[in-house]
Chain A
Amino acid sequence: MSNSMIIGQYVPGESFVHRLDPRSKIAIIFFFVLIVFFANSVMSYGLLALFAIGAAASSKVPLPYIMKGLKPVWFLIIFTFLLHLIVTKEGDVLYNLWGWKIYEEGLVQGAAISLRFFLLILVTSLLTLTTTPIEITDAIEELLGPLKKIRFPVHELALMMSISLRFIPTLMQETEKISKAQASRGVDFRTGSFKDRIKAVIPLLVPLFVSAFKRAEELAMAMEARGYRGGEGRTKLRELSISKLDYYLYALFILLIIGLFLTRS
């Protein structure tokens, strides 16, 4: 479990989508989310779906991983569809099931809204499936760069993100260890009412906090000993770079936008 914690959703690979610059991916997804709301005809939805499914297919991420990303909202997509099917009463009656009528408009609206939802989730989860959190952290630091002008601590944001990624598995293990240690000392965790369980949280959290603060202190000292002086003038081990692939993506995306506005009704 600890290993999967660091990697998160990321599925390693060498595909076109994996090799794109993370900044390009974030920017394209941002604009995709915006243009999805402009689609209003079968053709325009078809184009968007083609782009999204094409991207998912070319990423070569196995289908089960993609489905896992959709899991939390599956219910919502189906619920939305059914609700529109039942509630909307416009257009021709398509089907009559013992007096329960399905209208054309209901079917169309239900399908359109759930498809839009599906596309949004698919494309956004593709980012995190094909990019490591560290890469995204670097990209965010660069993309948010302009915010430094209004004194938003962009560098600190990125650094804190990287440090937390390092801390999470350690603290998870620590919690598990403490919970076992306290149980072996006879703290009764297993039985008892809601109140007792809440109380049992305390002997778990006190040692967790003490050791966690110690870790933070040690790391801060190590950083200072190595001469950490904030973000200014700091260089990077991994430099991001825009390649030919990224320009292909931009061209493709511009074609998508043009296509979308031509096929709108």
Chain B
Amino acid sequence: MQASRWSAYDITVGALFVALMAVGANIASVAPFLSVLGVPLTLQTFFAILAGIVLGSRLGMFSMIVYTVLGLIGAPIFSQFSGGLGTIFSPTFGFILSYIVLAFVVGKIAETKRSPSLYVAASLVGVALNYLIGVNLFYAAMNFWVGGDGINYVIAWSSMIPFLLKDITLAVVAGLFAYRLERSFLHRTPLRQAKVS
């Protein structure tokens, strides 16, 4: 990680995205309409993608690290208000870890050119990473803990398909939404202006 100092603004906006992730993980509890067939929607992937695009690769990745650490030390900010160090042993912890990589890569892509189509493309790459890391670690964790042929690799993937479809849709929305933010007020914030000091 580079040494350049973060301003107070960088820190508060980074913290803001940590809070948004926490809200996104449990948004159905404050906005009950956001559940489909009884399954609450989570917007974590959505906000992780936005963190990458809005904050850029470095700060975006860092805010996802903060989110992970904060959840691990016991703030109930993962989905279903869970949290605590024990989450490390949950088989779906890989998805949380993937947000760190995701935000960095999505940020890197979005930094090259600020256009709506590139934003959507970056978001889709983000979802792909999310699932590649998440499902593989899920598979590894199940086999490590359960041992032997705990779960079939194909089953691991196919159990994720409904969620994958939801997240692909949301990723497209995220890309377009980020561009809208960009045009409406992001360009006026210190995030987009060349650092003077």
Contacts and interface: CB of A to CB of B under 8 A. Distances in A.
Interface stretch (A41-49, A97-105, A149-157): A149-157
A14 to B, nearest CB: 19
A4 B29 CA distance: 14
B33 A200 contact: yes
A206 B185 CA distance: 11
Nearest to A191: B33
B62 A153 contact: yes
Nearest to A71: B82
Where chain B touches its partner, the secondary structure class is helix
Given A69-B84, A120-B89, A79 B146 contact: yes
B74 A76 contact: no
Interface in B147-197: 147-148, 150, 166, 169-170, 173, 177, 180-181, 185, 189
A210 B147 CA distance: 48
A179 interface: yes
Interface string A177-191: 001000000000110
A163 B15 contact: yes
Interface in B58-83: 62-63, 65-67, 69-70, 73-77, 82-83
B177 A202 contact: yes
Contacts, number: 207
A88 to B, nearest CB: 8
Given A73-B90, A198-B170, A164 B73 contact: no
Q: Which of B22, B30, B89 has the most CB of A within 10 A?
A: B30
B112 interface: no
Interface stretch (B1-9, B103-111, B116-124, B129-137): B1-9
A179 B35 CA distance: 14
A121 B90 CA distance: 10
23 contacts: A5-B75, A69-B84, A73-B90, A76-B91, A76-B146, A120-B89, A129-B74, A133-B70, A133-B73, A133-B75, A136-B74, A157-B65, A163-B15, A164-B22, A167-B16, A168-B75, A194-B166, A198-B169, A200-B33, A201-B173, A205-B177, A213-B16, A223-B8
